[in-house]
Amino acid sequence: MAAVEDGMWWFRALRAGLAERLPRHAPVIRLLDAGCGTGGLLRHLATVRPDLDLHGLEYDPEAAHIAAAKSGARVTSGSVNAMPFPDASFDIIVSTDVLCHAGVDESSALAEFRRCLKPGGLLLLNLPAYQWMASAHDRHVHNVRRYTAGQARQRVAAAGFGPVQSGYWNSLLFPLMLLHRMLAARQKQDSDVSFFPPWQDRLFFTVTAVERGMARHGLTLPFGGSVWISATRP
């Protein structure tokens, strides 16, 4: 994971999309990547947003060590179910493909995100889309939940967050993703997370860049491979 996330098109697209959703022109912003894995997002943000005060939280101690070394951020080993931080510690909490994990209690994690955000703080989530898209990949990475945008929005709102926005991304490539999952199921493959041929990787990333450009002009599609959530703690 540490090697693949640095280069694979999907991770690069995820990081680019999240970076675009971060606020600018503010005093020092304290940001937590909750469930930071091996630190790919933290390292990206350290490069493109050096104004941020970056922190990470990761359950696996080895991954937390890799994340700290890779990004230079302050990374703590712990669970999103009971985060080891005081109330109102962060201006922004980002969490990518964490609520879906078998080891995460969804309600507890959302309550902890709310507790650890400052009033007016921003929550950014990325989640896998559609339970019917569950596959061998989900079993391999221990995902037990997938979401529609409406389901994710309702659960975040029920956890006490203010205005909640949601939508899909990786929409233009979704038909190929669906076909790949169908073929992978027949071939009993383990995971979609792997290196791609360079030409294919560049092509797929370019498609996601086109999609981000469309979104900046208000052009989005009502489906996709992943759900994004943006919400505020009142």
pLDDT band at 65 (very low <50, low <70, confident <90, very high): very high
Cα–Cα distance, 69 to 61 (Å, whole number) = 12
Element (H, E) at 196: none
CATH fold of the domain at 4-232: Rossmann fold (3.40.50)
Paired tokens of 225: 């491979």
Q: What is the mean pLDDT of residues 57-75?
A: 97
Q: Can you give the pLDDT at residue 36?
A: 97
8-state DSSP, 133:
G
- The whole model's pTM is what? 0.94
Burial of 123 (0-12, 13-18, 19+ CB in 10 A): buried
CA 194 to chain centre: 18
Paired tokens of 30: 């304290």
Question: Please, are residues 70 and 47 in contact by the beta-carbon 8 Å criterion?
Answer: no
Amino acid at 104: V
Q: Can you give the pLDDT at residue 182?
A: 75
CA 166 to chain centre: 13
Stronger pLDDT, 4 or 191, i.e. the higher one: 4
Cα–Cα distance, 165 to 161 (Å, whole number) = 11
Cα–Cα distance, 24 to 156 (Å, whole number) = 24
Q: Can you give the pLDDT at residue 192?
A: 64
Cα–Cα distance, 224 to 29 (Å, whole number) = 30
The string over 139-162, giving b where at least 16 C-beta atoms fall within 10 Å of a residue's C-beta and e elsewhere, is eebebebbbbbebbbebbeebebe
Amino acid at 80: V
Report helix, strand or coil for 58.
Answer: strand
pLDDT in tens, 10-27: 999 999 999 999 998 777
Question: Looking at the predicted structure, is the pLDDT value of residue 186 above 60?
Answer: no
Report helix, strand or coil for 43.
Answer: helix
pLDDT in tens, 120-158: 999 999 999 999 998 877 888 888 999 999 999 999 999
Cα–Cα distance, 5 to 87 (Å, whole number) = 31
DSSP-derived pairing of the beta strands 117-128 and 90-96: parallel
Q: Can you give the pLDDT at residue 139?
A: 84
pLDDT in tens, 150-185: 999 999 999 999 999 999 999 999 999 888 777 766
